[in-house]
Every structure is written in C-alpha cells, then in structure tokens.
Amino acid sequence: MPVDDPTVGAEVSELRELLAQHNHRYYVLDDPSVPDAEYDRLMRRLRALEEAHPALVTPDSPTQRVGGAALDVFNSVRHELPMLSLDNVFSEEEFRGFDRRVRERLGEGAEVQYCCEPKLDGVALSLLYENGLLVRGATRGDGASGEDITANARTIPNIPLRLRGEGWPQRLEVRGEVYMPRAGFEAFNSRALETDGKTFVNPRNAAAGSLRQLDPRITAQRPLEFCAYGVGIASGELPARQSLLLAQLREWGLRCSPEIRVAQGVAECLSYYEDLLERRASLPHDIDGIVFKVDSIALQERLGFVARAPRWAVAHKFPAEEEMTRLEDVEFQVGRTGAITPVARLAPVFVGGVTVSNATLHNMDEIERLGLMRGDTVIVRRAGDVIPQVARVVPERRPPDASPILLPQLCPACGSPVERVPGEAVARCTGNLLCPAQLREALLHFAARRAMDIDGLGEKVIDQLLAAGLVRDVSDLYHLEPGALAALERMGRKSAENLVLAIARSRESTLEKFLFALGMREVGEATARALARHFGALEPLLEADAIRLQQVPDVGPIVAGHVASFFADQRNRALVARLLEAGIHWPAVEMPAGGGPLDGASVVLTGSLESMTREAAGELLTRLGARVSGSVSAKTRLVVAGPGAGSKLAKAESLGIEVWDEERLLGFLREHGLVEV
C-alpha cells in the first residue's frame, strides 16, 4: 500500500468512527449493536493500518488507550476548582434537617427539587477535555491537588478519548467515580486466586488499587468503569439544572447513572432512597447511599459551600454492609444429618440494617481459610437479605489471649465420636438417630409442611416430647396418646387431641413426601419426586443399588450413594417398616402426564446386549416413560431379551408378553431420537 494513498486515511477515519460508535453503545448505552468478534475485527484492521502508516496515529485513536511505558511516580496536579466531598446523613431525620436548612437559607417556603442518584462506592476521578480531547485524568487527592493518572484513565473503556456530538466548552472538566462492577470484581478475584493469590477485599479497594498502578497495561486489564456526576471547570455555558447537565454529559458520550431522577421535596426523596435501598443487592455495582443535589444551579450558587463540602448536596448513607465486632466464642451445632456446624457468637453489631450476634462459619475449612481465633476482631458482612457472614479477621487487633478453634472430638449433643472424612469439609456426629440433636432435627424435618405436614408439631413440642422421653424416633409419633400429651406443660386437653388428629391425618401422604420426610442426605423435594416417579413404588426403591439409582434423572453418584446406604442400613429399614405398620400410605404414583411412548409400561431387560449395557438401555427406556423392573409378572408389558436370557424369557413367553431383541430395541430407540442413526 503506498504511503500517500488517500483511501487509507479515509478508511482509518471510518474505522475509528465505527469503533467509537460501538464502544459508546457497548459501554455507555449498555446496548451493543455488533458481536464482539466484529469489534475485534475492526480493531485489528485499524491496528494494521496504523502500523503500516504511523503518521496516521492520533492520541484519540481507540488503539491508543494503552500507551507509553510505566511511570516511576505520578505527578501532582492542582485542581483549578477544588474537588469537594459530600456531607453525610444517616437517618431520615438528619435528611429532613438538611432539607430544612436548604429551604431556610433560600428563604424558600416551597418544596425544593432535588436531583437524586445512587452514590457509587469507588474512587473520584477528574477528566479534563480540551477541544473535545481527553488531555488529563486526575485523582481527587486532598481535594486541592491530586495525582496525574491520565495514562490509567485512558485505559478505562467507557471513558471517551474524544467527546461526542457538539457544543462542548473548549475546556471542560468532567467529574465522576471509577468503580469495579461486582461481576468483574468476582471474576478478577477468582483469577487472582488461581495465579498469584493477591485478591482484593472489596470492589472499592479493587478500583482504587487498579487506578494506582504505575503501569497502565495493568490497569487496562482491570474491569473498571467510569460514571460521571458533575463538572468542575467549564469555559462555556452549561445547562441550568443538575439533571439537565447530566443529560448533556450523556450526549457528549459520558456514562451517567441510569437511575437519575428529579424528586420534589423530602417525601419523594425518601421514597427514592427506599426504592434503591431495596434494589441495592440487585444492582451491578456496590452503592453506599443516595446523593441528593439541589437541581437548580442558580440555587446551588446561592447556597455555596462550607469547608470542603457544598451546602446544596448531601449523601444519605445506607446502613453499612460491613462492620467490625469481636468473636466471643464458637459453638458447634449438630444438624439433621449429623453435620457439625461451627457458629460464631459475636458481640452484637448493627450491620446491613439488623443487629447480628450469630453467624454461621460453615465448617472447619472456613475457619482455617479465615485464620480465625477465639477473641479475634472480625469484619461481619450482611448484604441484602443474605445471611450474615464473617468476612475476614482484622489481624492487627488479635488479643494476646486469642485461642485456637478446634473441632470437638465428641459430639456436643450426644458424646458420640465426631468423624471427618478426609477430603470432605464437613465433620459429622456418628450417633445418627441416637443423637438427640439429630433426632430433634429429624423430627422437625419429618413434621414440616413440605414433608408429612403435621400441624402443631413445632420446635417447642418436639423439645418437650424428647425431654419427656415420649419419642425416640419418628415412628413413635404415631403411637402418642392424647392423655400422655396433655401431661406436657402448656399443652391442654384440646391441643393434645388436635395434635393426635394432625398426626393421624399425616398417615395419608404421597410417596414423594414420605421419601422427602425421611431426610436422606442430599434428597430434597425435587430428588424425592424424581425417585417417586422413577420407581413408582417404595419396594423397587428399597432394592435398588447405587447403579440403578443413577438411572433416575438428575441423580448422580453422590446422591445415589446416600440413598443406597440409607436403605442398606438395617436400622433405617426397620424404621421405614414401623412407619408403614403405623399406617402411612399413599395413592399409586402418577407417572408424568403425557410422558413417552412407553408411559407407565413395566419393562424387563434380560440377557446381554452388545451395543450398550443393560443399565444404559434401562435408562433410555425410562426416558420414554417406561418403568424398568427386575422380574417378569402379568403386569410386564415388554421384555427385551439378549443372548443368555433364561427363565425370565421363558416366563414372558408363557405369559404371552411381547419380547424384543436388541435390533428391535435399537430401532425403537432410534425412532425416538435416543441413539444415533
């Protein structure tokens, strides 16, 4: 390509224009118009042209986001207009006080209009545009002067290197916040864990740390975003309202919060606050409150500043999601399946809008990961409705008498040995239903609405039944007499009778509820339903080994193992027998409506198959609605027989049952798309 080819210059301009448009749609409007691959193709083409024609490279070219070498230090920058901070208020009352002061100063009886926006939890950044070109990025520093981080600012994809549109002042300083969206933060941390292990504590620190890199190539790899919230110096006219100013910045290609609204008076401000507080956890990035600004710039000018903050703006902070407190003790609780869970007892602390004094520590691995000791000062985190967590230890606050947290050797509830399977995080009490803690949880689970649904059998009554020795396993429930119950404290004659009735009513159940109620490990409602539908009855399930169990949809080797070992335990089989003897029953299981072509049909596989194992064939037939059974009876609809078939085949023939060979089976499976043609 000749250097003076005028078409090259035209193509370069066109590529830059296209790339800038795509970038804007992607990062500012959140509305990408082309696939990433197309963007990459345009970028590669532009790079190639610029490499061949270095004279055509300009500083606002999208190829120039990461340029120059690493710095030794950041230069200091004086802000021509100081970068202000915001006053905080922490309650509705304090916010009303702010509004009252604004109106008093303005001599304004009427309600004031406020521009409302979420307060981003990031790092402030000043961007200076001259003739529409980004010439400088600076941190806030102490407000009077900050650091020149232009090279890093240029790497942030949604910061325009050149302003879009027209009408911008010749000099324009845009101010805003750099932050790391939560998804990017999680991704960055999990990658860091796999490589050098240098993770960030929260997205705010990640944004600050990334912006402080002396080598812009590192900043470029961090998922940072910029959101504009105002202007500093401006050499020309700007809109007369904060809300219109932000709309104008948006037209010039800067991202502003999509949540910006104008509110009339305190009441509307407060409902804006409540709305965002509620949606806080579902936003893509952390926010720590709401910023309210008097919308009219003329009124802002009349209000002016105090010290380092404007009188016309305030940050109404949300309750902190992280607070510091002391770990007083760790207790070990025993769950329904014997899992021993360490629970942190904390000095009560107000966090995420509630007072927290307990937090689960999950398991011993978690305690090790946190490096936690009794007496430590810890950071407790409660975000949204998520249960409170101990997020981390504050090591410099460890008292000299801090003591290690050890897994008890014996179950705190029954004294049975505690076992920890190597490679598993969970420790378990080996007492099973001999352990009162496990029995208590088993009873609660058994009686729950989604299980046997026994009204009136809650924690209190269960504790009383256990204390009085009236119940040693779940089957004892069905032999309780109203007389014995009425002897319990605060249990009247009437409630005793009602409870006995409720227990009696629970005898009429369904197979899936019964299976769920047994409380097998990893068997939730969905798995219980799948088991019930697959086997159709309890007996074949009792006989199934782990291999057969894995034919059930969504049952993998682990769940299959738990189910098989539950029913392999004679104590559990005896318990099931006692429950059935006590009268628990259910209607025949309905197979999935409109299922496959073998809907509900009982099929027996016998002999050997060449193209697949019998188990695999059984699984495929199950998918077509069949129930695979081990023995031939008058109810059998179909027998698939391979070489070596013996008595089952003979019996099928004697009963006149349809018999298929492997070829016929394969044809059928092929017809239904279950094996390749």
Q: Is 119 a catalytic residue?
A: yes
Residues between 249 and 268 that touch ligand JCF (CB under 6 A): none
Beta-carbon contacts of residue 31 (< 8 Å; ≥ 6 apart): 25
Query: Per the structure block, which two tokens stand in for 568?
Result: 């392999």
- Judged by CB under 6 A, the residue of 230, 342, 352, 519 near ligand JCF is 230
Cα–Cα distance for residue pair 303/288, rounded to 1 Å: 25
Minimum Å gap between C-beta 398 and ligand JCF is: 33
Cα–Cα distance for residue pair 124/226, rounded to 1 Å: 9
Minimum Å gap between C-beta 313 and ligand JCF is: 5
Choices 2-10, 82-90, 207-215, 476-484; region in contact with ligand JCF by CB under 6 A: 82-90
Residue closer to ligand JCF, measured from CB, 119 or 316: 119
Choices 78-86, 129-137, 141-149, 657-665; region in contact with ligand JCF by CB under 6 A: 78-86
Residue closer to ligand JCF, measured from CB, 288 or 376: 288
Query: Per the structure block, which two tokens stand in for 565?
Result: 């070992």
Beta-carbon contacts of residue 380 (< 8 Å; ≥ 6 apart): 322, 323, 324, 325, 346, 349, 351, 356, 359, 388, 389, 390, 391
Q: DSSP readout, 1-31?
A: --TT-HHHHHHHHHHHHHHHHHHIIIIISS-
Q: Taking CB under 6 A as the rule, does residue 223 contact ligand JCF?
A: no
- Judged by CB under 6 A, the residue of 86, 127, 349, 351 near ligand JCF is 86
**Residue 656, Cβ density class (10 Å: 0-12 exposed, 13-18 middle, ≥19 buried):** exposed
Residues between 527 and 556 that touch ligand JCF (CB under 6 A): none
Choices 103-111, 114-122, 162-170, 213-221; region in contact with ligand JCF by CB under 6 A: 114-122
Beta strands in 495-629 (DSSP E): 602-606, 627-629
Q: Taking CB under 6 A as the rule, does residue 120 contact ligand JCF?
A: yes
Q: Which listed residue (119, 293, 513, 648) is catalytic?
A: 119
Give the chain's length: 677
Residue closer to ligand JCF, measured from CB, 254 or 620: 254
Q: Taking CB under 6 A as the rule, does residue 313 contact ligand JCF?
A: yes
Q: Which one-letter DSSP state was computed for residue 320?
A: P
Asked if residue 518 lies in contact with residue 452, where contact means CB atoms within 8 angstroms, the answer is no
Residue closer to ligand JCF, measured from CB, 45 or 308: 308
Choices 23-31, 113-121, 537-545, 596-604; region in contact with ligand JCF by CB under 6 A: 113-121
Residue closer to ligand JCF, measured from CB, 132 or 289: 289
Residue closer to ligand JCF, measured from CB, 84 or 457: 84
Helix axes 36-52, 6-23, angle to 10 degrees: 150
Choices 84-92, 216-224, 590-598, 669-677; region in contact with ligand JCF by CB under 6 A: 84-92
Cα–Cα distance for residue pair 315/228, rounded to 1 Å: 16
- Judged by CB under 6 A, the residue of 24, 119, 255, 533 near ligand JCF is 119
Residues between 285 and 304 that touch ligand JCF (CB under 6 A): 291
Query: Per the structure block, which two tokens stand in for 152?
Result: 């890093």
Beta strands in 300-417 (DSSP E): 305-306, 309-310, 313-317, 322-334, 339-351, 354-360, 373-374, 377-381, 389-393, 403-404
SS3 399: coil
Minimum Å gap between C-beta 298 and ligand JCF is: 17
Angle at 409 between CA 405 and CA 414, to 5 degrees: 115
Residue closer to ligand JCF, measured from CB, 82 or 600: 82
Minimum Å gap between C-beta 83 and ligand JCF is: 7
Cα–Cα distance for residue pair 353/337, rounded to 1 Å: 32
Choices 116-124, 206-214, 605-613, 638-646; region in contact with ligand JCF by CB under 6 A: 116-124
Minimum Å gap between C-beta 242 and ligand JCF is: 9
Residue closer to ligand JCF, measured from CB, 120 or 276: 120
Choices 81-89, 317-325, 385-393, 508-516; region in contact with ligand JCF by CB under 6 A: 81-89
Minimum Å gap between C-beta 162 and ligand JCF is: 24
Minimum Å gap between C-beta 260 and ligand JCF is: 10
Q: Which one-letter DSSP state was computed for residue 452?
A: T
Beta-carbon contacts of residue 559 (< 8 Å; ≥ 6 apart): 522, 523, 527, 549
Nearest Cα neighbor of 83 from 153, 128, 140 is: 140
Minimum Å gap between C-beta 194 and ligand JCF is: 32
Which amino acid would we find at residue 310?
P
State which residue has the least CB distance to ligand JCF: 229
Size of the site for ligand JCF (CB under 6 A): 12
Residues between 167 and 206 that touch ligand JCF (CB under 6 A): 177
Minimum Å gap between C-beta 276 and ligand JCF is: 12
Residue closer to ligand JCF, measured from CB, 120 or 390: 120
Minimum Å gap between C-beta 258 and ligand JCF is: 13
Nearest Cα neighbor of 528 from 477, 475, 589 is: 589
Residue closer to ligand JCF, measured from CB, 119 or 250: 119
Residue with tokens 């009349």: 302
Query: Per the structure block, which two tokens stand in for 213?
Result: 């890199």
SS3 361: coil
Catalytic residues: 119
Enumerate binding residues for ligand JCF (CB under 6 A): 84-86, 117, 119-120, 177, 229-230, 291, 310, 313
